Amino acid sequence: MEMQKVLIAFAAALSIGLPAFATAWAQSKIGAAGAGALAEKPELSGTIIILLAIPETMVILGFVIATMILLTVK
Amino acid sequence: MELLRKIEDGGYPTEYLVARIQGRSAAFLRDWDALIFSPDPLASLAATGYRNIIAARAEDIPWQRLAREYEWVYLQMNSALRRIFKPFFTHQELRTLFLALRYKRGNDEKRLQEVLLASLLAKTVKTTLRDLPDVPAVLPEVERVLIVMSPRFSGLEDLFLRGGLGAVEQHITDTCLEHTVRSPLHPIMRGFFRRLIDMRNIMSLYKHQRWTMKDRPLFLRGGTIEEPVLTQAAGSRTGEGASDLIARLTGTAPEIITPTSVEHALIEGMTRLLKKEARTASEIGRILQYLWQCFIEARNLSAILAGRDMDRELVSQEILS
């Protein structure tokens, strides 16, 4: 029983941890490229913010899955 | 001692630089014919953001502008990118070095200062070029810097006394190219330098055939076209050899073989290769293609400015696409 709890917690941690890393990596790349694009074309700021926010969906979904694992898996 | 200036600053992420150069690429002139055949090409240039060039009306302004752009790119690069692109900038700065030596020989202090202004040459090299009285005094100092790369750079002063500055320039360029392809390089940079060697070898072959020289041309090693193929083509004594090799290298050969058409075919072949690299390969390919495109633009602008009083059809033939 204790082992099962450990595995559930581990699964929940993975489901938010991995997307968090992926989001961080994607945002680092998009952020750097976005800063470069903004330096040349400041009018692109709205587009860059949207592009920067898109990878955030990965970690949000990861959070939802982690919550579901913790709350529904017994 | 190194030829290039040492940059302590860490620079910016590669993605940042690539995004910036993509933004800057939008400013490249594309329709050169429309510009040349417009009622007033210089006024048209001025309208597209080249006011300074027109105001100065000097053919070397595009090259100074190119040097400033290269300096900007080099300063934006992070240390990993600088390592990869160091051979490229070293090769480019040889041109600055040669110009500075020519101005030194002609006692043209003003132009010497101008050419060193946006140069990436190390401070010690710039000081040597500025302060020492003449070319024979400068060459041993230049040799001390270059010999760190390869012992084959030795004997520059003797070479100058025997063959003049042209022989020194040829020796440094050839040695630098051969040394570069033998050193560890990023695959895209290796491809670029191998192609440069091919271009240089084909030009040598073409000149050899055109002026039916008795001496065998000296071909550089390290290109994609092997030396025996070049030697065999040099022995054929017809213009076909160079034409065939251009076709093999670039996919197309010029219809009429002239010095200009051979050079253009080779340069345009390189442009196509780099465009392909930029589309299919990593950020390195995109940066290299941008640097090359800057060179093409400087060359075209220089041709337009030099030919402002010439027949436009002739100027148009000098333009590289």
Q: What is the pLDDT along chain B (321 residues), one digit of tens a residue?
A: 688 988 887 889 999 999 999 999 988 888 888 888 888 777 777 777 666 666 655 677 888 889 999 999 999 999 999 999 999 999 999 999 999 999 999 988 888 998 998 899 999 999 999 999 888 999 999 999 999 888 888 888 889 988 899 999 999 999 999 999 999 999 999 999 999 999 999 998 888 887 777 777 889 999 998 888 888 888 776 556 778 888 888 888 777 788 888 888 999 999 999 999 888 878 999 999 999 999 999 998 888 888 777 788 888 888 887
Q: What pLDDT, in 10s, does the model give residues A9-23?
A: 999 999 999 999 999
Burial of B264 (0-12, 13-18, 19+ CB in 10 A): middle
The pLDDT score that the predictor gives to residue B277 is 87
The three-class DSSP label of residue B60 is: coil
Tell me which chain B residues have a C-beta less than 8 angstroms from the C-beta of A37: 19-20, 22-23
Q: Tally the domains of chain B.
A: 1
Domain ranges in chain A? Answer: 2-68
Contact assignment for B20 to A34 by CB distance below 8 Å = no
**Is there a domain that residue B89 lies in?**
yes
Contact assignment for B18 to A36 by CB distance below 8 Å = yes
The pLDDT score that the predictor gives to residue A46 is 94
Q: What is the mean predicted confidence (pLDDT) over A27-34?
A: 95
CA A14 to chain B, closest CA, distance in angstroms equals 29
Q: What is the DSSP letter of B219?
A: P
Tell me which chain A residues have a C-beta less than 8 angstroms from the C-beta of B18: 33, 36
Find the closest chain B residue to A30 by CA distance.
B15
Tell me which chain A residues have a C-beta less than 8 angstroms from the C-beta of B283: none
Q: Phi/psi zone of residue B222: left (φ > 0), alpha (ψ -120 to 50 degrees), beta?
A: left
The pLDDT score that the predictor gives to residue B250 is 83
The number of C-beta contacts closer than 8 angstroms across A and B is 37
Domain range for B109? 77-184
Q: Phi and psi at residue B121, in whole multiples of 5°?
A: -60, 150
CA B21 to chain A, closest CA, distance in angstroms equals 8
**Is there a domain that residue B222 lies in?**
no
**Is there a domain that residue B248 lies in?**
no
The pLDDT score that the predictor gives to residue B76 is 93
Question: How far apart are alpha carbons B36 and B317 in whole angstroms?
Answer: 11
Contact assignment for B13 to A32 by CB distance below 8 Å = yes
Q: Of the candidates B146, B172, B178, B187, which has an alpha carbon nearest to the alpha carbon of residue B288? A: B187
Q: Of the candidates B115, B162, B151, B157, which has an alpha carbon nearest to the alpha carbon of residue B138? A: B157
- CB-nearest partner of A32 from B16, B22, B24: B16
**Is there a domain that residue B27 lies in?**
no
Joined together, the tokens standing for residue B321 give 């696409």
CA B172 to chain A, closest CA, distance in angstroms equals 37
Tell me which chain A residues have a C-beta less than 8 angstroms from the C-beta of B16: 32-33, 35-36
- CB-nearest partner of B15 from A33, A39, A40: A33
Question: How far apart are alpha carbons A69 and B270 in whole angstroms?
Answer: 56
Tell me which chain A residues have a C-beta less than 8 angstroms from the C-beta of B24: 40
The pLDDT score that the predictor gives to residue B59 is 72
Homologous superfamily of A2-68: F1F0 ATP synthase subunit C (1.20.20.10)
**Is there a domain that residue B86 lies in?**
yes
Find the closest chain B residue to A32 by CA distance.
B16
The pLDDT score that the predictor gives to residue A64 is 96
Contact assignment for B23 to A37 by CB distance below 8 Å = yes
Q: Phi and psi at residue B4, in whole multiples of 5°?
A: -95, 150
